[in-house]
Structure 1
Amino acid sequence: MNIGIRLGAPVEPTIWTYERIRNTYGDITSYVKEYKNFAADDDANGPYYFLRALYDDAVDRDIVPNDVARAWLNYAREGMGMFWWGGYGISTEHTAYTNLKKGIPAPQSGSIEQNGSTIAEQIGGQIFIDTWGLVNPGNPQKAADFGEGAARVSHDGEGVHGARFFCAAISKAFETSHIEEIIEAGLAQIPSDSLYHGVARAVLAFHADHPDDFRACRDMLEREWGYDRYPGVCHMIPNAGVCILALIYGQGDFSRTVEIATMCGWDTDCNAGNVGTVLGVACGLDGIPDKYRKPINDGIVMSGISGYLNILDIPTYAKELAILGYRLAKEPCPPALADSFSESETYFDFELPGSTHNIRVSDPFFVRVQHSTEKAYRGTGSLEVLFDRMTRGEQSKIFYKPFYTRDDFSDERYSPTFAPRAYSGQSVSMKIYLDQWNGNETMGIAPYVRLAKSKQDLLQGYVKLVNQEWLEVEFQIPDTEGDLVDEVGIVLESYSLAKYKSLGRIFIDEFRIHGKADYTIDFGKQQVNFGCVTPFAHNHGAWSIVNKSLYLMTAEPCEAYTGPYFAKDYEVELTLNPQHGDTHLVAVRAQGAQRGYHAGFDGSGQISLYLNNFGYSKLASVPYAWQFNQDYAFQVSVRGEEIILSVNGEEILRHQDATFGYGMFGLSTQGAARTYASQIRFTEL
């Protein structure tokens, strides 16, 4: 899916027309643009975040539209990221989100009755649903039903037919690689008198008569099914035609299918992404060439409200989808699969074919990484690192990137924000095997982390490797003194003299970042990236860095979140200086914009604890004479069902509630306010 998105995104309309793509790039056979890292995209955001309805609401039953609607409201930052905020009545997703916010429930929020057919039948119903097909393998009808339930939050009519078609096609692709069978399985899940069915049959009939000329078929779509006939910004029907065209003319070849979808124009990244999912399943990894897979390097980013969840490791997510598939099929999950996945820590076992888990190198001249099945500490896979003719003092870093800043991206697509996946206090461990072929001294390594703002490497001491042996390497991430960690790994160094040159390989396996975080945030070492102050994701309000403090000015309720998403018991300490407004709150165990606890100053002379569960309700309140323009040392701790708020070392409020057992932390206010926050410390208990 993400190969298709990355291929099609650089030539999206409206600037890039079909003719301009053809005249500029001709026959596309590879990516047309290089990226430092490919930024977030709505086509990936929706399938990733809306699937969380299976964790939050539909835990032991099939989904209904309202489950997915709650995911929309909980994981999106209003007006930023996630999808195109093109205006009410223009962007289907913006329209549906606004309807939900105003109390119009799903599926009414996306209905033709509510929004009219033009808005309801745009392409979004098709592009946000791939994962519902992936978690229902070999069951096209169930996949289509789940896809429809999700799509009805924002779409209706032909928009829903697109969801049903692609979920069924993805599901069927687990059983067969025959593209005609896959297409027919998708069409079997939509009405035969629908426009979607009609455009599909038109393309299939044209292909039967002209099997070698996809451009002639694209010309037919322009004449008979083009944008001029279907109003709106990006209607479902013309793009459905392109998808069927790409599938049938691609004839089961992954590369050719996503390339044709891109060359046909219209909604290039959406169409190439959708057909990429179908062909990715049908062809398997062996059918995906390195020229497309390697630049992805097993990593993508998102732009939801959790900066922690926004950093996605694809092999780990593939395991998560498989585990969900077993759950939905009501079948026992194989223990080996269940044990290889952890949502609350970083764990790379390199077991999946070709997996690299987004491990990178600083100097590709000396070092190259690839997946290997030759050596493994456990299981069958590892990461092979070739070092080529290195001499004394020459180094290369091999590392995982647990945090990103704006400088890591070429553009600002969909405004991703990030919270690190590695913190002071946590442990990093890995197994390393040396297979050295040449050199008069064996290679050495130094574990390290890099600081995001200063770019300083914190080395943990050099270790000499032992040839033909596995070595366990473990270290604790040191105190970063308020900076963030954006690299975790090892420095590989040669000790051999120049005339000998070190040549050989190391194998890395069982890479983990785990344990309890204990870190501070120094705003003198933070940046404003993508409209947010690192490492927070802001939802409403104007946030900035003033005098080494996080400064908020807002005329409306707002919040900012950061930290490990799955943290359970922890303590947040910070200095809060209220300047104006009635509420100045600290959020804990927040699972998004609509789920969490908020404690702090609440009106004149009062401290309160609120539960936010798709609406705020007050759990407890006590008198407290607080004043503006004074520093207050806040400490909020959550342990089990107990929530405790202390101010200036004195316990002020203690309450028990079992609604939420984990989540992020942050700051919030329920109305107009100005606030300074500084000296933040987060400690897992």
Structure 2
Amino acid sequence: MIPKNYVETVYAGFIGMNIGIRLGAPIEPVAWTYERIRDVYGDIRDYVKSYNTFAADDDANGPVFFIRALYDDAVDRELEPEDVGRAWLNYAREGIGMFWWGGEDISTEHRAYVNLRKGIPAPRSGSIEVNGTEMAEQIGGQIFIDSWGLLFPGQVEKAADYAEKAASVSHDGNGLYGARFMAACIAKAFDASSMDEIMAAGLRMIPEDSTYARVVHAVINFHRENPSDFRACRQYLEDHWGYDKYTGVCHIIPNAGVCVLALLYGEGDFARTVEIASMCGWDTDCNAGNVGTILGVFGGLDGIPEHYRKPINDFIVASSVSGYLNLVDFPTFARELALLGYRLNGEKAPEELIQRVKPGEIYFDFDLPGSTHGFRTSNLFKTPIVRHSNKHVCDGRGSLEVVFDRLVEGDNSKIYYKPFYRREEFNDEKYKPTFAPMAYSSQTVSAKIYVDQWEGEPITLTPYVRNTHTREDLRLVTITPVGGQWNDIIFDLPDTEGAMIDEIGWILESRSPLLNRALGSLFIGQFCITGTADYTIDFAKQVKEFASITPFSHHRGKWELAGGTLHCTADGDCSSYSGNYYAGDMVVEATIKPISGASHCLITRANGIMRHYLAGFDGPGTVSFIRQDFGHERLISVRYDWEHGKEYRFKLVAEKDMFTLYINGDNVLECKDASFDHGMFGFGCLEQGENEISDVRVHAEMKP
């Protein structure tokens, strides 16, 4: 049965996982050995590095995206390994992001992806028979499984079964046992009273005579004899279960030992558990991430210290093909995952939860305890406190409090949400995330704001957006909120003329004099972005970052900026995607100049790399409408004489199940198909060629 606090516990588990990943990531091998971590950082009690924005990590990518098999294929039936294999192909760009592309003879995930592309289906794609034991038993079997445990609270066998199916895409043998063990531990943490109980549940899900079970028992036995010295246990693992005995880049067995060690010596304390997992070395972010999920569920939100939670700020980036889905808001993801959990467990979700999940929209209500939804301020001196509060509430159990401290005329601080990110905001290039904005010109922002002012002249709020190309703040009409009551503040996002918007919020000011400075708190009770998006993309205002041209994610091909155009060179099929993943009816326009080759198309309703429609030039004198659904099918082809070196204005209209392609204003073809009712837009080709794309315009409505 789903527990009453299910959403909050899923939220805590996801926060815990990401804290562990962020803590362990800076001290991964091979540069950081156990000895170096010990000698440099000693007894870790906090993050060892501060990040501007923490870059994407494969340990989070898997839990976020592999569950999409439950949206795309296993909607009304049991999950199968092949469903997860299809999610790999649909959401992972070849050679970039998602996993570690370390070479198909080194990286297990790289090998599995190549197998899938060759037509070797899961679970054979990850089998020992195909890949060998060493490759199949690397750590990936257990690091991508957290969501499966969160989906089945208390249902350890079901969690283990689903985790095994997902892991079998890339792993086998002990790799599968690790998936079963960790998912079962997470599921059991929902109703367990001790770490011993949690690990006992995990052990019941794997063969007693497996190497994985033996290392778990070995650590349990060592801890029983040496309950206070985790470093002695770490040395025991090095001596008896170390990397020299289990080869490959990152074998699952030594790291399984570290996870169990951390669970035992952490004694149920969240912080100490993830700290010990990190101090033990080997695959630090993977191990700390797994135990972080278990302890997040076990101890709940109250068990997570603020100094670990605050820098997370309810937000991570991911690195799939969908730049929109790559911007992960924790409360939103937790609710979506919880809805899946209700569905999979055959229970009706509470109506309140259903109403708070709005795919394709920004809907932030600060209902979950401690939630911040990634909000920031620009002036820490004048707005020193940004925190969750239940002092003033308009919808649910909380709001975001921003304390403003002694503002005078000339002072200001921006209070804002970031719907888009740039490379300059990250410290490194890890897993090369890409972004499609969460908000666009012509959409409507609505917010509920309460002002509790203690001193000074009234504050003012000026709605604004930041143009990411010019770095300018586009100010709208200033308002003076009424103190002591909830104010409904609504504004439309202005046209940024082909550039993206990377900040949305308010500029907080006051005309207070020095002798009567403005002091108090502002509370945001709700923040929403809705409505039809109507915007352009000017490639003269875009940049190449993270190996992609903003705001697109590229799969294969060479994509460059050239003279205000997007220049594509393809050795074979390739594609590029942007826009709201949940857009329904849409109109996409672009000028396309074919330079060589016979395939030059617009893409619409893209659910991913392997699920979308293409429309455009498809051979000499031919235009086609093509459905890609793990294989291309031409739904209609018509005669149209086109030439290399000439520019053509494409306009592709998708309205319900009807699609119309216009070229240079002429209705060229129409087609009906109901396979995909929402998705991204983009560009693609099915064979070798070259083209230039410019003057993109998009009109997109969200799927009802």
TM range (shorter): over 0.9
Q: Deviations over 1:71-94 (max 9, x none)?
A: 000000000000001111210000
> Does structure 1 residue 176 correspond to structure 2 residue 192?
yes
The answer on whether the counterparts of 1:62 and 1:146 sit within 8 Å (CA) in structure 2 is no
CA shift, 1:42, in A, is: 0.2
Alpha-carbon distance in 1 for matches of 2:406, 2:202: 53
SS at match of 2:429: coil
| Residue of structure 2 in register with 1:515 after alignment | 531
CA shift, 1:222, in A, is: 0.4
SS at match of 1:568: strand
| Residue of structure 1 in register with 2:450 after alignment | 433
The answer on whether the counterparts of 2:568 and 2:692 sit within 8 Å (CA) in structure 1 is yes
> Does structure 1 residue 472 correspond to structure 2 residue 472?
no
| Residue of structure 2 in register with 1:203 after alignment | 219
SS at match of 2:566: strand
| Residue of structure 2 in register with 1:262 after alignment | 278
| Residue of structure 2 in register with 1:24 after alignment | 40
> Does structure 1 residue 655 correspond to structure 2 residue 671?
yes
Alpha-carbon distance in 1 for matches of 2:434, 2:677: 24
> Does structure 1 residue 153 correspond to structure 2 residue 144?
no
CA shift, 1:60, in A, is: 1.1
SS at match of 1:52: helix
List structure 1 segments (4+ residues) > 6 angstroms apart after TM superposition: none
The answer on whether the counterparts of 2:367 and 2:395 sit within 8 Å (CA) in structure 1 is no
Alpha-carbon distance in 2 for matches of 1:278, 1:177: 12
Aligned pairs (5 A) from 1:248-397: 248-367=264-383, 368-397=385-414
Alpha-carbon distance in 2 for matches of 1:591, 1:378: 33
Alpha-carbon distance in 1 for matches of 2:653, 2:223: 64
| Residue of structure 1 in register with 2:256 after alignment | 240
Aligned pairs (5 A) from 1:628-647: 628-647=644-663
- Which of 490, 494, 500 is matched with 1:484 structurally? 500
- Which of 100, 122, 126 is matched with 1:110 structurally? 126
CA shift, 1:393, in A, is: 2.2
Counterpart residue identity of residue 455, structure 2: N
The answer on whether the counterparts of 2:37 and 2:279 sit within 8 Å (CA) in structure 1 is yes
SS at match of 1:662: coil
Alpha-carbon distance in 1 for matches of 2:525, 2:464: 17
| Residue of structure 1 in register with 2:415 after alignment | 398
| Residue of structure 1 in register with 2:464 after alignment | 448
| Residue of structure 2 in register with 1:627 after alignment | 643
| Residue of structure 2 in register with 1:594 after alignment | 610
Alpha-carbon distance in 2 for matches of 1:453, 1:37: 19
The answer on whether the counterparts of 1:45 and 1:304 sit within 8 Å (CA) in structure 2 is yes
| Residue of structure 2 in register with 1:135 after alignment | 151
Alpha-carbon distance in 2 for matches of 1:177, 1:266: 29
Counterpart residue identity of residue 571, structure 1: V
Q: Deviations over 1:396-452 (max 9, x none)?
A: 00100000010110001100000000100100000111100001x211101111111
Q: Deviations over 1:119-147 (max 9, x none)?
A: 00000010011000001111011000000
Aligned pairs (5 A) from 1:37-56: 37-56=53-72
Counterpart residue identity of residue 216, structure 1: A
The answer on whether the counterparts of 1:360 and 1:398 sit within 8 Å (CA) in structure 2 is yes
| Residue of structure 2 in register with 1:583 after alignment | 599
SS at match of 1:252: coil
Alpha-carbon distance in 2 for matches of 1:464, 1:88: 60
> Does structure 1 residue 79 correspond to structure 2 residue 90?
no
Q: Deviations over 1:191-210 (max 9, x none)?
A: 11011100000000000000
Alpha-carbon distance in 2 for matches of 1:149, 1:89: 23
Alpha-carbon distance in 1 for matches of 2:621, 2:577: 26
Aligned pairs (5 A) from 1:186-201: 186-201=202-217
| Residue of structure 2 in register with 1:421 after alignment | 438
CA shift, 1:177, in A, is: 4.1
Alpha-carbon distance in 1 for matches of 2:645, 2:553: 25
- Which of 500, 507, 512 is matched with 2:516 structurally? 500
Counterpart residue identity of residue 19, structure 1: E
The answer on whether the counterparts of 1:177 and 1:252 sit within 8 Å (CA) in structure 2 is no
Q: Deviations over 1:632-658 (max 9, x none)?
A: 010001001001100000000000000
| Residue of structure 2 in register with 1:530 after alignment | 546
Alpha-carbon distance in 2 for matches of 1:61, 1:96: 25
Alpha-carbon distance in 2 for matches of 1:670, 1:61: 33
| Residue of structure 1 in register with 2:428 after alignment | 411
The answer on whether the counterparts of 1:571 and 1:684 sit within 8 Å (CA) in structure 2 is yes
Alpha-carbon distance in 2 for matches of 1:177, 1:466: 49
SS at match of 1:165: helix
CA shift, 1:684, in A, is: 2.0
Q: Structure 1 unaligned segments of length 5 or more: list them.
A: none
| Residue of structure 2 in register with 1:68 after alignment | 84
SS at match of 1:499: helix
Aligned pairs (5 A) from 1:218-233: 218-233=234-249
Q: Deviations over 1:499-535 (max 9, x none)?
A: 1111001111120011010000001110100010000
CA shift, 1:321, in A, is: 1.1
Counterpart residue identity of residue 131, structure 2: N
The answer on whether the counterparts of 2:369 and 2:397 sit within 8 Å (CA) in structure 1 is no
The answer on whether the counterparts of 1:177 and 1:283 sit within 8 Å (CA) in structure 2 is no
Q: Deviations over 1:261-311 (max 9, x none)?
A: 000000000000000000000011111001100000000000000000000
| Residue of structure 2 in register with 1:13 after alignment | 29
Alpha-carbon distance in 2 for matches of 1:393, 1:375: 28
| Residue of structure 1 in register with 2:7 after alignment | none
Counterpart residue identity of residue 28, structure 1: I
The answer on whether the counterparts of 2:616 and 2:625 sit within 8 Å (CA) in structure 1 is yes
Alpha-carbon distance in 1 for matches of 2:558, 2:413: 41
- Which of 458, 474, 477 is matched with 2:474 structurally? 458
TM-score after normalising by structure 2? 0.97
Alpha-carbon distance in 2 for matches of 1:61, 1:142: 14
SS at match of 1:681: strand
The answer on whether the counterparts of 1:50 and 1:72 sit within 8 Å (CA) in structure 2 is yes
| Residue of structure 1 in register with 2:590 after alignment | 574
| Residue of structure 1 in register with 2:10 after alignment | none
SS at match of 1:276: helix
Alpha-carbon distance in 1 for matches of 2:356, 2:569: 44
The answer on whether the counterparts of 2:138 and 2:249 sit within 8 Å (CA) in structure 1 is yes
Alpha-carbon distance in 2 for matches of 1:378, 1:282: 28
- Which of 683, 698, 702 is matched with 1:667 structurally? 683
Alpha-carbon distance in 2 for matches of 1:363, 1:615: 52
Counterpart residue identity of residue 164, structure 1: R
Q: Deviations over 1:302-331 (max 9, x none)?
A: 000000000000011111111111111111
The answer on whether the counterparts of 1:323 and 1:337 sit within 8 Å (CA) in structure 2 is yes
SS at match of 1:205: helix
RMSD across aligned positions (CA): 0.7
Alpha-carbon distance in 2 for matches of 1:232, 1:604: 50
Q: Count the aligned residue pairs.
A: 684
The answer on whether the counterparts of 1:315 and 1:352 sit within 8 Å (CA) in structure 2 is yes
